[in-house]
Amino acid sequence: MQTKFLLLSIFLVLCTIGFVLYMLYVQQAALSLETRPALHNSTLLLAINLCPAVICWCLHLSKSSYRTTIVLLCCIFAVTWTTHHLRDGLRRGLWIAPFGHTPALPKWLYLSATTAVPLTARIFMLIDVASTDADRKSQLPDV
């Protein structure tokens, strides 16, 4: 019990120190950038999110036992990166590489898209789990 309390105390102290350092240095530096970092390109986001989608589709065709886990990780990656881009677009607009920048997203569009992205990913995950369960049931021998 003492070890758990000690570990929790150390964790809380480290989180507090990390938060204070972030607020003092990193956040100010991130908000004062003159140009956007390369991974804030929304066209690149679409291309990189296509790779996990293709991997998930190929795994859907296979009978891999890790298929559901990989689909879950791909969905988590897509949701986190897409919602990060939407949050950035609320302040600065989206950066679509060959066409330039869009104006800042309206708050209603940001809120509805941020709500729709995880729900859409959840639907895809439910479809995958349902198809996995159907495959398992069809492979069970009749007794």
- Write out pLDDT tens, residues 84-130: 888 888 888 888 878 888 898 999 999 999 999 999 888 877 876 66
- Would you state the structure tokens that stand for residue 35, as one six-digit string? 């140009």
Q: What is the DSSP letter of 106?
A: P
**Residues in the chain, overall count:** 143
| Residue 55 pLDDT level (bands cut at 50, 70, 90) | confident
* Distance in angstroms (rounded) separating the CA atoms of residues 35 and 142: 63
- pLDDT averaged over the chain? 76
Encoding tokens for residue 71? 């689909």
- Please tell me the pTM assigned to this model: 0.63
